[in-house]
Amino acid sequence: MTEIVMSQTPPILHGPSEKERKYDRQLRLWAASGQAALESANILLVNSGAGTVGAETLKNLVLPGIGRFAIYDEAQVEEADLGVNFFLDDSCLGKSRSQSLRDLITELNPDVQGTWYPNEGVKTLESLLADSPVFTAIIYTHPIRLDQLSQLKAYGQQHKTPLVAVHSAGFYSYFQINLPGAFPIVDTHPDETATTDLRLLTPWPELVAFAEGLTKDIGGLDNFEHGHLPYVVILLHYLEQWKAAHDGKYPTTYKEKTEFRKVVQDAARTGNPEGGEENFDEAAAAVLKTLVPPSLPSGLKEVFEYEHSDPVEQRSGFWLIADAVKQFYEKHQCLPLPGKLPDMKAQSKVYIQLQGIYKAKARKDAAEILQMVQAAPGGERVDPAEVDLFCKNAAFVKLINATGGGGSSSSSKISRADRLKSAAALEFANDETAAFTLAPLSLLPIYLALQATAHAVDKPLNADGILAVVAEQAPGAEQNERVVQAAQEVARAAGGELHNVSALTGGMVAQELIKIVTKQYIPIDNTCVYDGIVARCQVLRL
């Protein structure tokens, strides 16, 4: 039953490579697979305005080793740049800002390639977009010219490229991610404590047999053996007893579970020298958490119910596996077993055997799903490792931008303008009751005020000018007192950035791009607003 984990010959000892040493602290977060994805990414920054938030974002992507980047920035370096942007110095004054930024940012990591535009050969954004290899993602900073924005949007749609708009001014900032379609993530890195799935209410024959073998003479075990029964085995044993006394039913209500917990607690031996048994303590503590019937988590439910509008998307590995997992779920009324056994007090050999039983069942489930995948058209191309990963994480799979993507269905075509209006109505209604609910106040006013200056390329707007634009975009909002204040605060900055706010925002944008590029962890959906006065963020779907 136990797995052969090592061959007879001693394993080859190899220390980490130079690159593994350099990237050690991040490989612990996204592993070699995430690193490989980063290293094959090619990011475009279209930098305008005061230009610091874009530079700070790039810094945070170049350091962990993004493959390549390009900066498009039409500005020349001015005095004001040197008071806010760390990747420019006195020697850059009067030179092309994109070239200077490229030089001082590539210095951070010799593994990264950077290019700058406009230059002798490529003079406009339009020609850059037409002539470059496809970008993995594009970041653009506000304020941006409308014609350039529409070029970027067209490019994003054509190449299915994620676009990230970033705006930082004074104490405020926001960024907004525009994904080209529904964005599924398998490797979501849930908190370890959330991932325990022991199937104690639906044990399979091998597990039942193993538990019975250890507990058939539970009263006759010596204190050492009794005190080292794994809590999984203890719970399975007393669940059987419970069922026998309760018409074959498991404890399901809270009351029954606490009664059952008492049964387990009382079964611990107290006459031993320790005056109790840790493994029974562990068993009792696990009752409420682990005695739960299988259910379908909301994230996966959304995946199962997702209606495709794009046939190409539908034949991708993720969706073929999702279909198979759905079939599996309908057939067995449970998800594939992840197969991970938490640590628990037990003898080494017994624990390893039990771990082997969970792993074997997980492999069997994954094999069944792989078979289903391969039976589907196009399924033979799917990487079995991808199936394994999905099975291990099935309960935590997440779909981002489910309604905004797919490219067609009419519901997804609710215009951004309408979404903004309904979001404003909802947020302001919440704020009315915030005094009672103690919920933090909405940061939508900041978004509205900043967004009003998104194309103020030539001249910053004053507060009245900002409110006039807000009135067009979310009629009535311009009357809201907090919107008026936000407009005054945005006017105070007059398009200028504060380094701290841009560094903070650049950090968040880089985190999000790392998540999108590596397809690990969960990106925001879809707008994050930051208020540097109260030191707080809010994520809104706009």
Partner 1 sequence: MTSTEVHPASEPARWVYLDRIRTRPGPSTNPDVFSPEAAAAAMETMKILVIGAGGLGCEILKNLALSGFKDIHVIDMDTIDISNLNRQFLFRQADVGKYKAEVAARFVEKRVKGIKITPHNCKIQDFDEDFYMQFQLVVCGLDSIEARRWINATLVNMVDEDVEDSYKPLIDGGTEGFKGQARVIIPTITSCIECQLDMHAPRAAVPLCTLASIPRQPEHCIEWAHLIAWDQEKPFPQLDKDDPEHITWLYQKALERAAEFNIPGVTYSLTQGVVKNIIPAIAATNSVIAAACCNEALKIASNCAPALGFPEANYMMYSGNDSIYTYTFKHEKKDDCPVCGQLARNMDVDPTWTLRELVDSFAARPEAQLKKPSVRAEGRTLYMQSPPSLEAQTRPNLDRTLVELGLEEGQEIAVTDPAFATVTFKFKLKFKQ
Q: Is residue 250 at the binding interface for partner 1, with CB under 8 A as the rule?
A: no
Range 248-256, long-range pairs (CB < 8 A, 24+ positions): 250/201, 250/291, 251/291, 252/293, 254/288
Q: How many residues bind partner 1 (CB under 8 A)?
A: 93
In the list 101, 489, 517, 542, the residue contacting partner 1 (rule: CB under 8 A) is 489
* Closest distance to partner 1 from the beta carbon of 100 (Å): 12
**Stretch of residues binding partner 1 (CB under 8 A), selected from 317-325, 361-369, 472-480, 515-523:** 515-523
Q: Which is nearer to partner 1, 110 or 271 (CB)?
A: 110
In the list 6, 244, 385, 435, the residue contacting partner 1 (rule: CB under 8 A) is 6
User: What is the C-alpha separation between 175 and 133, in angstroms, rounded?
Assistant: 25
Q: Is residue 493 at the binding interface for partner 1, with CB under 8 A as the rule?
A: yes
Over the window 447 to 486, marking each residue x when it contacts partner 1 by CB under 8 A and - when it does not, the resulting string is: --------------------------------------x-
Q: Is residue 282 at the binding interface for partner 1, with CB under 8 A as the rule?
A: no
Over the window 139 to 168, marking each residue x when it contacts partner 1 by CB under 8 A and - when it does not, the resulting string is: ------------------------------
In the list 41, 395, 501, 542, the residue contacting partner 1 (rule: CB under 8 A) is 501
The sign one gets for the Cα dihedral 81, 86, 90, 94 is negative
Q: Which is nearer to partner 1, 111 or 126 (CB)?
A: 111
In the list 2, 272, 333, 411, the residue contacting partner 1 (rule: CB under 8 A) is 2
In the list 209, 245, 426, 539, the residue contacting partner 1 (rule: CB under 8 A) is 539
Binding to partner 1 (CB under 8 A) within 99-128 occurs at: 107-110
Is 401 buried (19+), middle (13-18) or exposed (0-12) by CB count in 10 A?
buried
Is 505 buried (19+), middle (13-18) or exposed (0-12) by CB count in 10 A?
buried
Beta-strand (E) ranges in 123-232?
A: 137-141, 163-169, 172-178, 183-185
Give buried/exposed letters for 166-180 (b at 16+ CB in 10 A, else e). Answer: bbbbbbbbbbbbbbb
Binding to partner 1 (CB under 8 A) within 345-384 occurs at: 345-349, 351-352
3-state secondary structure 370-412: HHHHHHCCCHHHCCHHHHHHHHHHHHHCEEECCCCCCCCCHHH
Binding to partner 1 (CB under 8 A) within 379-408 occurs at: none
* Closest distance to partner 1 from the beta carbon of 155 (Å): 25
The neighbour count for residue 317, using CB atoms within 10 Å, is 17
- The DSSP letter of residue 541 is -
SS3 485: helix
Q: What angle do CA 119, 120, 124 make, to 5 degrees?
A: 55
Q: Which is nearer to partner 1, 200 or 503 (CB)?
A: 503
**Stretch of residues binding partner 1 (CB under 8 A), selected from 146-154, 328-336, 418-426, 501-509:** 501-509
Q: Which is nearer to partner 1, 95 or 332 (CB)?
A: 95
Q: Are 231 and 279 in contact (CB under 8 A)?
A: yes
Q: What are the two backbone dihedrals, phi and then psi, of residue 62, each rounded to the nearest 5 degrees? A: -70, -40
Q: Which is nearer to partner 1, 51 or 406 (CB)?
A: 51
Q: Is residue 276 at the binding interface for partner 1, with CB under 8 A as the rule?
A: no
CA of residue 32 relative to chain centroid, distance: 17
Q: Is residue 277 at the binding interface for partner 1, with CB under 8 A as the rule?
A: no
* Closest distance to partner 1 from the beta carbon of 43 (Å): 13
Instruction: Count the residues in the chain.
Output: 542
Binding to partner 1 (CB under 8 A) within 28-57 occurs at: 28-29, 50, 56
* Closest distance to partner 1 from the beta carbon of 248 (Å): 33
CA atoms within 13 A on the CB side of 491: 14
Q: Which is nearer to partner 1, 31 or 146 (CB)?
A: 31
Q: Which is nearer to partner 1, 151 or 279 (CB)?
A: 279
User: What is the C-alpha separation between 196 and 473, in angstroms, rounded?
Assistant: 47
Q: Which is nearer to partner 1, 43 or 493 (CB)?
A: 493
Q: Is residue 216 at the binding interface for partner 1, with CB under 8 A as the rule?
A: no
User: What is the C-alpha separation between 370 and 391, in angstroms, rounded?
Assistant: 10
Q: Which is nearer to partner 1, 320 or 448 (CB)?
A: 448
User: What is the C-alpha separation between 448 and 454, in angstroms, rounded?
Assistant: 10
CA of residue 377 relative to chain centroid, distance: 30
In the list 42, 47, 48, 60, the residue contacting partner 1 (rule: CB under 8 A) is 60
